Structures are given as structure tokens and as C-alpha cells.
Amino acid sequence: MNKDELRRCMIARRNSLNNKDIEKKSQTIISNLSKLSVYKYSKFIFVYVSFRSEVITKGFIMNAIKDGKRIAVPITLAEKKIIQPCEIRSLNELAPGTWGILEPKKGNYKVVDSSQIDLAIVPGLAFDYSFNRLGYGAGYYDRFLPSMNSLAIKIGICYDFQLIDSLPAEKYDIPMDVIITEKRLLFRDPNKISLRK
Ligand SMILES: Nc1ncnc2c1ncn2[C@@H]1O[C@H](COP(=O)(O)OP(=O)(O)OP(=O)(O)O)[C@@H](O)[C@H]1O
Ligand SMILES: [Mg+2]
């Protein structure tokens, strides 16, 4: 399957989940994520705000704020095809923005320097065992992720059916360090993780 066929296939499979499935699987994925030492040691987390049938991240954001983490979420600049990290202190600062995705309200949002981020929680339509990621197809994350510090940890979260043996990847596709599903936890380079404080 090429990238577009795989995207269509995964969107269809994800949309066939009912709300209960989505909530239950998301809770397990977020619980797996929150137990990791990379989460515990992190200070400034970039995390997408879930939309439609994506793995739900709202509870994670609330808990991370309670845990004293700084949180940045993406704001989409569609005309430039980029996302920028904006710091928030509460989910109340979000309102529907580009494509109806919740993002910091226009006007008083605070873009932060990506180099401050030490952990990024990345959405994807599919991931593979080589830690490749397939997104929605505009390259937003492939452009954003390299702007972070090279020691920052990139974690892809997805439903287990989205983790497949192999997917088509090009030179510009940025791989993940960790992939988490409701059933599996994959680490690319345990040294990168364990050497961090
Ligand atoms: N670093 C980059 N700089 C400029 N263009 C890029 C970069 N990375 C990717 N692109 C462009 O973005 C387009 C889409 O990339 P790709 O198909 O990998 O999207 P994706 O990873 O599925 O999407 P997304 O990252 O938005 O979730 C590609 O045609 C590519 O030319
Ligand atoms: Mg890509």
C-alpha cells in the first residue's frame, strides 16, 4: 500500500471504533505513557490536542499540568504549512481553530521556543517497527519535530491496529523514539531514554 492508501485504510478503521472503545483504549495508552520515566523526568511537554477518533489527550494534558509540567500544544498556520508550539495552563484556553481542532485562542497565545521542549507526544495514522510515522500527509510534524532539541524524546501514540510491520517512509520522515499502544510499548534506543535526567 502506498501512503495515501494506508491513510485511507487507517482513517476508516479508526472511525469504526465506537466512543467507548476510543475512551477505553485511550485511557490505557495514556496510563502506559504516564508510567514511563521519560514522562516523570520531563519538564516541558508538547502534545497534540485530540480530534475526532484520535487517541484522546485531554485527560493527559490536565494531569500533566497538575503534575507541574509545562505544556505546549500545536497551533496550525495552514498558509505556511507549519505548526507552532503554544504554551497553555488550562484546557479552557483552547477554542476550535484550523479544521475545527482545538487550539489556543487567537490573539493572546504564547508561542514558545521549541528547543525548550523535552518530550513530544505525536499523533499518527500509522507507525511501524522501524519507528516510522505516517501522518495526515501535509508534512507538518516532519517540519516541526527537527526544530526541537535533538535530545527531546518523540513518542508516537496510537491504537494497536495502527502499529504495523512496515510503512513507506522517505528521507524527510522523522522517526519516533517510542511508540505506545494499548497493548505494546516499543523503545527505539533505550540508551537515549535512560541517559536523560
Ligand atoms: N522538512 C520538510 N521540509 C519541507 N517539506 C517537507 C518536509 N517534510 C515533509 N515535507 C513535505 O511534506 C509533504 C508531506 O509529507 P508526508 O507525506 O510525509 O506527510 P505526513 O508525515 O504524513 O504528514 P504530517 O507530518 O503533517 O502528519 C511531502 O510531500 C514533503 O515534500
Ligand atoms: Mg511524513
Q: For position 106, what pLDDT does the model report?
A: 80
For the domain made up of 3-194, the CATH class stated in words is alpha beta
Specify whether the CB–CB gap between 31 and 40 falls below 8 A: no
What residues does each domain of the chain span? Answer: 3-194
Q: For position 128, what pLDDT does the model report?
A: 98
Q: For position 184, what pLDDT does the model report?
A: 97
Single pTM value for the model: 0.96
**187 touches ligand 1 (CB under 6 Å):** no
Helices (H), 57-169: 58-66, 140-144
Instruction: Report the residue among 84, 136, 172, 174 best suited for mutation to probe ligand 1: largest number of ligand atoms under 8 A from its CB.
Output: 172
One digit per residue, the tens of pLDDT, for the chain of length 197 reads 999 999 999 999 999 999 999 999 999 999 999 999 999 999 999 999 999 999 999 999 999 999 999 999 999 999 999 999 999 999 999 999 989 999 999 877 899 999 999 999 999 999 999 999 999 999 999 999 999 999 999 999 999 999 999 999 999 999 999 999 999 999 998 777 765 55
Measured CA to CA, the distance from residue 170 to residue 27 in angstroms comes to 32
Q: For position 194, what pLDDT does the model report?
A: 64
**139 touches ligand 1 (CB under 6 Å):** yes
Q: For position 107, what pLDDT does the model report?
A: 77
Number of continuous H segments (helices) and E segments (strands) in the chain: 6, 13
Specify whether the CB–CB gap between 117 and 45 falls below 8 A: yes
Helices (H), 35-180: 37-41, 58-66, 140-144
Measured CA to CA, the distance from residue 157 to residue 180 in angstroms comes to 5
Specify whether the CB–CB gap between 123 and 53 falls below 8 A: no
Compute the distance from residue 91 Cα to the ligand 2 centre, in Å.
Answer: 28
